[in-house]
Chains A and B, each alone.
Chain A
Amino acid sequence: MTAATMLAPKAPLWTRLPVVHQFRQSIGLQRGMLVVGLVITGVFILTAIFAPLLAPYGYSQLRDDNGTFGAQQAPGGAHLLGTTVGGYDVLSRVIWGSQTAIAVMVIAVVLSIFAGVALGLVSGYFGGWLDRVLVVVCDAVYAFPALLLAIVMGIVISGGRSDLWGGIFAAAISITVVFIPQYFRVIRAETVRIKAEAYVESARVLGASNGRIMFRHVLRNATRTLPLIFTLNASEALLTLAGLGFIGFGIEPSSAAEWGYDLNKSLSDVSSGIWWTSLFPGLAIVLVVLGITLVGESLNDLADPRLRSRRAPGNTGVVAATSVVPGGTLDAGPGGIDGLETGPLAPDPHPNDDPFEAK
């Protein structure tokens, strides 16, 4: 299958990568949203990687050579963003928090993708009673408040208190359980749709085995929307983590920094007008979710021809010979127009790909 990709004609490989391809497709406001999202997400990832260098203090540091930091110090001086009620440096906690956030997001999304895709594929492909049971179970879980389920999972996994990795995994697995139904639904729906496509029926008529049909024909086509769900769920994972932290299922401040936990501790500060302890961790959450969601939404728009905007044809633009446009969404590489060259025969137009007449 890799060989197939290598054979891809014309378009350089890197332009066919997800995100890069969509970026090249985008224009105007859509490109603006995608760029803003990518920048924020990039800054977030870099912050997480370089947290040890960026943060002035450790996440659990309470004192330096000049003695203890003191609680609820206003921003300025040695503590740019002030200190918390527990006496931690707010800026350092915010920076270190990005590490926890990214760890939970990656673990949760990866775990749920594997479980959700496997279940969705098998369930959608084979159908039958197993499918029906799985659908009812997943629908029930899906309809249930994610946070409550995560709370129950949190109680089960960690009993509510935890160290660094214990806490991260508890949060990640709690979120995974919530997400599996989502991936299951998407992949199952895609599988059911693809199963009825002519190319799968064609393989069936040939007598190809179920395994071959599932992996060669269904799986790769069913998972093409994953980058998109990935971004949408990553942001939801962060929100769930913060929610868990806020209601006290967070990770102890001595183990790691976690924004939701810090917000919980700042709850009482607000009434006395201490704003810096809550504002900065909160803003960190908002920015990261905003960035990732912008990327996800833009990808979503670009993948859907109905929602994608295109360059208005300027009078100066190069006008190709009257021709039809190759269809496809995620996979129509820029090489498509070349593909329209016809053989020695007379022009052989595309009836199905023509956006103007196919309606």
Chain B
Amino acid sequence: MQSLDAPDSLCNCEVLMTTVAMKAPVPAAGRSSKKKTSPGGGIGRYLLLRFLLIFPTIFILVSMVFWLMRTTGDPITAALGGKLGPDQLAKLISAAGYDRPILIQYFEYLGQIFTGNFGTTISTNRPVSEVLLTYGSATAELVFYALIVAFIVGIPLGLVAAYWRDKAPDAFLRVFAILCYATPVFFAGLLLKLVFAVWLNVLPVAGRATVGSELQMQFLPDKSGIYFIDALKTGNPAVFADVLLHAVLPALALGLLTAGVFLRLVRTNVIGTLGTDYVDAARSRGVNEFRLVSKHAYRPALIPIITVIGLQVALLLGGAVLTETTFEWKGLGFMLIEFIKARDFVAVQGIVALLAVIVALSNFIVDIIAALIDPRVRY
């Protein structure tokens, strides 16, 4: 999301006369060319710009998905093509309005999305928004667990690797990180299942909870769909333990994938800041090496780290689709694959559009956090 502060250089004269997105150039500098221009504008303006950027992002993704999907024809023919006769198909198509000019359908679709209406599934005939609500909480729960694993594993190990840079622990951790990244999340899932669920038989093979637990949670008056919370509400420790045990393997599979990325990210950025003058300056005042890594180098490195972590939301969501399929974790990803198998493209389009909104929103949130950490933006 660099677009608004990309420093256009001074050369392009057209840009110079009209641009809105140009940094004030570094004033003629004798030797201090390294000086950064101040970001300009208060944090309010910055956040407003970032907020406004959400809309084109969502618009672009939703439009892209719409047009791409429509090149394959209308969703009803795709879903029911072989099953119904041409007459019945034509009737259904006409009833759903798919025989109107495509542009009209497009604008209608945009308008619907704006009001939170993602259409109706063809295979199950439910509103897509209802599907999203029902299964979204499961995905959110999985992603949350995975993030916890990724933060607990990735960040400290990244610091350790940076501290022992180019020594044996670093080499070991780097290979570990690459392995985390190199192992497809579904393969990691399969291995974990094989070892812990089948051979050792200590953890459940699949699902979010046993049928018994799900039944207990089913009758809660105000269930959230997030099993962690619902299980607490039942007040039954067995249900709670059951829910947690089911979460271990999926969280590990998805979390380790992300942890590998975090580890590399932390390591590289901290090594970068460890080489700066200000760390050398702190060292020259007698600050110990551990504190140099964990405070003096880590904090400034955190700004790029958080920005890049924001982009990992995409990785995490993509990974969630595969993890859910592997563990039959009935979330959005799992349903997405089911809908694809049923060739229900209205539902697919709805889920993809929702994920686009989530991506845009989470990037915005990450930008806010990064801005709040950086005093140069804050003041």
Give residues in A with beta carbon < 8 Å to B: 28-30, 32-33, 126-128, 132, 135-137, 139-148, 151-153, 155-156, 159-160, 185, 189, 192, 195-196, 200-201, 204, 235, 239, 242-243, 246-248, 260, 263, 266-267, 270-273, 275, 278-279, 282, 285-286, 289-290, 293-294, 297, 306-307, 309, 359
Q: Apart from A195-B11, A273-B198, what 9 extra A-B contacts exist at CB < 8 Å?
A: A145-B317, A145-B318, A155-B348, A156-B71, A247-B321, A278-B187, A286-B182, A289-B182, A293-B178
User: Which one, B61-69, B104-112, B294-302, is touching chain A?
Assistant: B61-69
Give Cα A146–Cα B355 distance, bound, in whole angstroms.
12
Residues of A within 8 A of B356 (CB): 144
CB–CB A247/B325 < 8 A: yes
Any chain A CB within 8 A of the CB of B145?
no
With beta carbons under 8 angstroms apart, the residue of A33, A144, A153 that contacts B174 is: A33
Shortest Cβ-Cβ A-B pairs, 6 listed: A145-B318, A289-B182, A282-B187, A147-B318, A196-B9, A135-B3
Give Cα A155–Cα B68 distance, bound, in whole angstroms.
9
CB–CB A294/B178 < 8 A: yes
Residues of A within 8 A of B199 (CB): 273
| B11-27 with Cβ < 8 A to chain A | 11-12, 14-15, 19, 21
Q: How far is the CB of A72 from chain B (nearest CB, A)?
A: 15
With beta carbons under 8 angstroms apart, the residue of B191, B193, B311 that contacts A143 is: B311
Any chain A CB within 8 A of the CB of B92?
no
Give residues in B with beta carbon < 8 Å to A: 1-3, 6-12, 14-15, 19, 21, 53, 56-57, 60-61, 64-65, 68-69, 71-72, 166, 170-171, 174-175, 178-179, 181-184, 186-187, 190-191, 193-194, 197-199, 205-206, 268, 271-272, 275, 277, 310-311, 313-315, 317-318, 321-322, 325-326, 336-337, 340-341, 343, 345, 348, 352, 355-356, 359-360, 363
With beta carbons under 8 angstroms apart, the residue of A139, A263, A306 that contacts B190 is: A263
Q: Given known contacts A152-B65, A286-B182, A293-B181, is B317 in contact with A359 (CB within 8 Å)?
A: no
Give Cα A200–Cα B12 distance, bound, in whole angstroms.
12
With beta carbons under 8 angstroms apart, the residue of B2, B12, B190, B352 that contacts A278 is: B190
A-B contact pairs, 20 of them (CB 8 A): A29-B170, A33-B175, A127-B15, A132-B3, A140-B60, A142-B311, A143-B311, A144-B314, A144-B359, A145-B355, A148-B317, A192-B6, A246-B184, A247-B325, A263-B184, A266-B190, A270-B194, A278-B190, A285-B187, A306-B275
Give Cα A289–Cα B185 distance, bound, in whole angstroms.
13
Residues of B within 8 A of A272 (CB): 198
Q: Given known contacts A152-B65, A192-B6, A271-B198, is B193 in contact with A140 (CB within 8 Å)?
A: no
Give Cα A324–Cα B61 distance, bound, in whole angstroms.
52
Q: How far is the CB of B345 from chain A (nearest CB, A)?
A: 7
Residues of A within 8 A of B191 (CB): 278-279, 282
Give Cα A126–Cα B19 distance, bound, in whole angstroms.
13
Residues of B within 8 A of A128 (CB): 12, 14-15
CB–CB A267/B190 < 8 A: yes
Give Cα A329–Cα B167 distance, bound, in whole angstroms.
23
CB–CB B15/A307 < 8 A: no
Give Cα A159–Cα B7 distance, bound, in whole angstroms.
42
Q: Given known contacts A127-B15, A260-B184, A289-B182, is B56 in contact with A136 (CB within 8 Å)?
A: yes
Q: Given known contacts A127-B12, A128-B15, A145-B321, is B337 in contact with A139 (CB within 8 Å)?
A: no
Q: How far is the CB of B274 from chain A (nearest CB, A)?
A: 9
CB–CB B321/A286 < 8 A: no
Q: Which residue of A lies closest to B183 (CB)?
A: A286
Give Cα A143–Cα B309 distance, bound, in whole angstroms.
11
Q: How far is the CB of B122 from chain A (nearest CB, A)?
A: 14
Give Cα A145–Cα B65 distance, bound, in whole angstroms.
13
CB–CB A309/B14 < 8 A: no
CB–CB B194/A297 < 8 A: no
Give Cα A243–Cα B352 distance, bound, in whole angstroms.
17
With beta carbons under 8 angstroms apart, the residue of B14, B272, B275, B322 that contacts A147 is: B322
With beta carbons under 8 angstroms apart, the residue of B61, B179, B325 that contacts A140 is: B61
CB–CB A282/B9 < 8 A: no
Q: How far is the CB of B70 from chain A (nearest CB, A)?
A: 9
Residues of A within 8 A of B178 (CB): 290, 293-294, 297
Give Cα A145–Cα B56 distance, bound, in whole angstroms.
17
Q: How far is the CB of A267 from chain B (nearest CB, A)?
A: 7
Residues of A within 8 A of B348 (CB): 151-152, 155
Give Cα A285–Cα B190 distance, bound, in whole angstroms.
14
Q: Given known contacts A196-B10, A243-B322, is B68 in contact with A140 (CB within 8 Å)?
A: no
Q: Which residue of B lies closest to A266 (CB)?
A: B190
CB–CB B184/A141 < 8 A: no
CB–CB B61/A146 < 8 A: no
CB–CB B57/A140 < 8 A: yes
Give Cα A279–Cα B186 distance, bound, in whole angstroms.
11
Q: Given known contacts A143-B311, A144-B61, A290-B179, is B11 in contact with A196 (CB within 8 Å)?
A: yes
CB–CB B171/A239 < 8 A: no
CB–CB A246/B325 < 8 A: yes
Residues of A within 8 A of B314 (CB): 142-146
Q: How far is the CB of B262 from chain A (nearest CB, A)?
A: 15
Q: Given known contacts A143-B363, A192-B9, A248-B337, is B321 in contact with A278 (CB within 8 Å)?
A: no
CB–CB B187/A155 < 8 A: no
Q: Given known contacts A156-B69, A195-B9, A273-B198, is B355 in contact with A136 (CB within 8 Å)?
A: no
Which one of B181, B311, B341 has the greatest number of beta carbons of chain A within 10 Å? Answer: B181
Residues of A within 8 A of B186 (CB): 243, 246, 263
Q: Which residue of A lies closest to B337 (CB)?
A: A247
Give Cα A243–Cα B318 distance, bound, in whole angstroms.
9
CB–CB A155/B166 < 8 A: no
Give Cα A159–Cα B71 distance, bound, in whole angstroms.
11
Q: Which residue of B lies closest to A309 (CB)?
A: B166
Give Cα A156–Cα B310 distance, bound, in whole angstroms.
29
CB–CB A307/B271 < 8 A: yes
Residues of A within 8 A of B183 (CB): 282, 285-286, 289
Give Cα A284–Cα B37 distance, bound, in whole angstroms.
49
Residues of A within 8 A of B322 (CB): 147, 243, 246-247
